[in-house]
Amino acid sequence: MRTKGLRVTNPRRDILRIAWSSPEHFTADEMYVWVLEDDADASRATVYRTLALLAQADFLATMNDGKGTVLYEKQLSSDDHHDHMICVACRKIIEFVSHDIERIQDEVAARHSFKLQNHTLRLEGLCVDCK
């Protein structure tokens, strides 16, 4: 956090530790429950502010679930890019990597002389259990 110019506090350290220990996507409200269960000292407002700060500093990635809810996930490096499929029935999230999609978007960007810096791909449909 110091290398990103952020002040290191116990609540921030606790929230980052809990976030990086989660194998799943999570909401700010879920994080707040985990903070309480961990006996960490952080208010709901601190959790929301800290998650936003950690996302801005690229410790966490964010995505919209398509229903207006922001989901967070750990972001270990900028090379750790992946996309998401979200089941519209049960809200299950499936992460995937497609080199074909990456290649096509680079080709499209090049055709338009566009310098691509980031992208978000969210596919919505029904998972195998819900279809």
CATH code at position 97: 3.30.1490.190
Q: What are phi and psi of 125, to 5 degrees?
A: 180, -150
**Whether 49 and 15 share a structural domain:** yes
Tell me the residue range of the domain where 14 lies.
Answer: 1-79
Number of structural domains found in the chain: 2
pLDDT tens per residue across span 93-129: 998 989 999 999 999 999 999 998 878 888 999 999 9
Nearest to 22 by CA among 53, 48, 59, 57: 59
**Whether 48 and 95 share a structural domain:** no
Q: Is the Cβ–Cβ distance between 31 and 45 less than 8 Å?
A: no
- pTM equals 0.75
